[in-house]
Structure 1
Amino acid sequence: MDRKGSRSSRRRPLKKRPPPNRHQIEQEQVSTSTLAKKLKSGENIDVIVNPSLGYTIINFIDVFSSLSNYVKCKTCGGDVKFGQSSIRGLGFKLVVECASCDSKSINSCPCTDNHSYEINRRLVFSFRMLGIGGQGIKKFCGLMDLPKPGGQTTYDALVKNIHCAASSVCENSMKSAAKEEINLTAEADNIEKPRGLTVSGYATRSKKGLFSLYGVASLIGYHSGKVLDVAVKSAYCNECESMKTKANTAEYEEWNRRHQCDVNHEGSADKMEVDAVREMFSRSQELHDVKYLNYVADGDCKIFKDIAESNPYDESVKKKERIERVPSGKNESLDDLIWQIAPKTNFSNAKINEIAAFVATTIFNDGHRSLLDILRILNVSIGPRTHDMCVEEDVSRVSIGNVD
């Protein structure tokens, strides 16, 4: 055998990948993305309410020090002590120690398929729904004498998980809304399948005026009153800004090679909504296999002009004057939902604004019970209190809507 052949026959042994450290376990994203893909493919993801699940805050040292005075080892009858191990954020293992027997450990909360504590996902998701980010969570945990919630890298990874889950549930919600709109249009026009749909556009920005860095636009079905598509425009990337000082360095080149920039808009803030609506029109056939052939607008509408000039279909889009069937009050509730999750008073990056748009859309279309779907994709167990809260919020929402 020649030298080349002999060399190729001797393969180097594969290096074993080191196991993830305690921080990396909480940063895993595989389980979320797997369930998100299943949902997007049309597979049903059941939301199961676990009646035995519930959380209570206790003083660990006082409670378990007292408990050890009353509890004996089941195996040998000796005294036991309680401790903690594998502490990651608010999750840990409760360790039962006996001087004569092997110690036993119990997870303080359910774990995901990849062994990360679900309480940390629940914590970040819950605070994000209240419009509070990582620094607020850290301050809350400090004031409550709770363990530190984890570093910035862990927080960012958990936000990516929430983004993945919210995106998939939102996409599923908009697909269902489009099907409903198609059926309602066919029924109203007394035809089997409509040539196109009538939609109205709605846009909102993180700040008023010409200096807004982020904008959200949506298209709402005329008959269903539900969001059929949503787009978030970003004129700013936090990572790009922070890495400017390291330009022309090896670190910068490595970062730039793997960086996915948040910027998807160039030009004035006024142009955000125009570009977003044009983008949504251009993808209507890909998303919903339908055309938006009628656009509801007032007077001299620059958005409609842009749609007409872009010519997204093989036939023209017509403008309809604003009509009562698409209520402005409901649009305002969508606006409120978005900025409750990403408050205008705080700086939020593109990913947070997208989460806000996705979650707001699902609540707008399907109610707060859609939050249970997001938690399910996040591999978070759902207890009766979480379920009941979502139901009560929806009842309250319907009551307020009826008063309005």
Structure 2
Amino acid sequence: MSNPDVNSRMVLAMRNIGVGHAGMQDFCRTFNMKGLAVNTYTNYVKKLKDTCEAVVKRTPNKAAQHVRSVYEVKFPELKDQRIIDVAVTYDGTWHRRGRTSHYGVSVVIDLMTGLAIDFELLSNFCHCCTLAKNTKSQAEFDEWFEEHKNECQANHDGSACSMESKAALILWNRSIDNYGLRYTTVLSDGDAKTK
């Protein structure tokens, strides 16, 4: 594989179906194609991550702006207020059922418009850190981690069960500053860990 567009699409496809680099190598061998070296694969993953994050940073802002405009039309007295109170629904979901998942995402959805205003992805696992811990001494790992920590995927120290509550705290804390929205009424399902 040499075409950068084909490579990035292949990496994205393998990530989407959850098989990663090893699965991509198996796929390429089946079709008698040369795969990507693990470092090249990792570089493509980083590029895709950066692209996705750039899109994600723009999308919630547009949704929040639309939510504000809908509330301002429906309630004209809110037009000049910096902070608008909104009713939302909130829930979290995990990569795996049970309490063993390493990844969880939580979403805040406006009840009036049905738009996802914001979300937070939490992970207590980083594949790069795991590989580095298995191949480096503690001193080498500590030095390596200084360079890696800004890209580390592990952004949660607790269990999968505590992800929903931590994500809620993050989302509620940034709602006013980032969007000028205060989540005052919350509709949740029966298994919510956030109170």
Give TM class, smaller chain.
Answer: 0.7 to 0.9
Compute the displacement of 1:174 (Å). Answer: 1.1
Query: Hey, what's the Cα distance between the residues in 1 that align with 2:158 and 2:142?
Result: 27
Deviation of residue 208 (structure 1)?
2.0
Number of the residue aligned with 1:141: 28
Percent identity of equivalent pairs = 28
User: Which AA in structure 1 matches 2:23?
Assistant: G
Partner of 1:401: none
Residue 150 of structure 1: how far off its partner (Å): 1.5
- Aligned residue runs from structure 1 range 5-404, under 5 A: 89-91=1-3, 117-146=4-33, 148-193=34-79, 195-244=84-133, 246-249=136-139, 251-260=140-149, 261-297=152-188, 302-304=193-195
Question: How far off its partner does 1:201 sit?
Answer: 0.7
Q: Distance in 2 between matches of 1:159 and 1:291?
A: 35
Encode CA deviations 1:340-370: one digit per residue, 9 max, x unaligned. Answer: xxxxxxxxxxxxxxxxxxxxxxxxxxxxxxx
Instruction: Tell whether the 8 Å contact from 1:201 to 1:219 is kept in structure 2 after alignment.
Output: yes
Number of aligned pairs? Answer: 189
Q: Distance in 2 between matches of 1:234 and 1:164?
A: 17
Higher helix proportion: 2
- CA radius of gyration, larger in: 1
Q: Distance in 2 between matches of 1:160 and 1:168?
A: 12
CA shift for structure 1 position 171: 1.8
Provide closer, same or farther for how the CA distance between residues 197 and 300 of structure 1 changes in structure 2, counting only shifts above 3 A: same
Q: Secondary structure at the match of 1:202?
A: strand
Shift >6 Å, 4+ stretches: none
Cα distance per residue 1:355-395 (max 9 Å; x no partner): xxxxxxxxxxxxxxxxxxxxxxxxxxxxxxxxxxxxxxxxx
Q: Secondary structure at the match of 1:134?
A: helix
CA contact 1:125–1:162 (8 Å) conserved in 2? yes
Taking structure 1 as reference, are residues 230 and 90 closer, same or farther at Cα in structure 2, changes over 3 Å only? same
Separation of aligned partners in 1, 2:127 and 2:18: 19
Deviation of the 1:192 alpha carbon: 4.2
- Find the residue that maps to 2:77 and give its secondary structure: coil
Distance 1:278-1:153 versus aligned 2 partners, 3 A rule: same
Alpha carbons of 1:292 and 1:262: their partners in 2 closer, same or farther (altered >3 Å)? same
Cα pair distance change 1:244/1:154, threshold 3 Å: closer
Contact 1:90–1:149 (Cα < 8 Å) also in 2: no
Cα distance between partner residues in 1 of 2:63 and 2:8: 28
Q: Secondary structure at the match of 1:291?
A: strand
User: What RMSD over aligned residues (CA atoms) do the two structures have, in Å?
Assistant: 2.4
Normalising by structure 2, we get a TM-score of 0.83
Task: Tell me if structure 1 keeps the 8 A contact 2:95–2:102.
Answer: yes
TM superposition score normalised by structure 1: 0.43
CA distance in 2, matches of 1:225, 1:176: 14
1:246-272 deviations in whole A, cap 9, x for unaligned? 3344x3343133121432222332211
Give distance in 2, aligned partners of 1:153 and 1:207. 27
Q: Identify if the C-alpha distance between structure 1 residues 90 and 231 changes in structure 2 by more than 3 Å, giving closer, same or farther.
A: same
Unaligned stretches of 5+ in structure 2? none
Looking at structure 1, the residues matched to 6 and 192 of structure 2 have their Cα atoms a distance apart, in angstroms, of 48
Q: Distance in 2 between matches of 1:133 and 1:277?
A: 30
Q: How far has the Cα of 1:132 moved from its partner?
A: 4.1
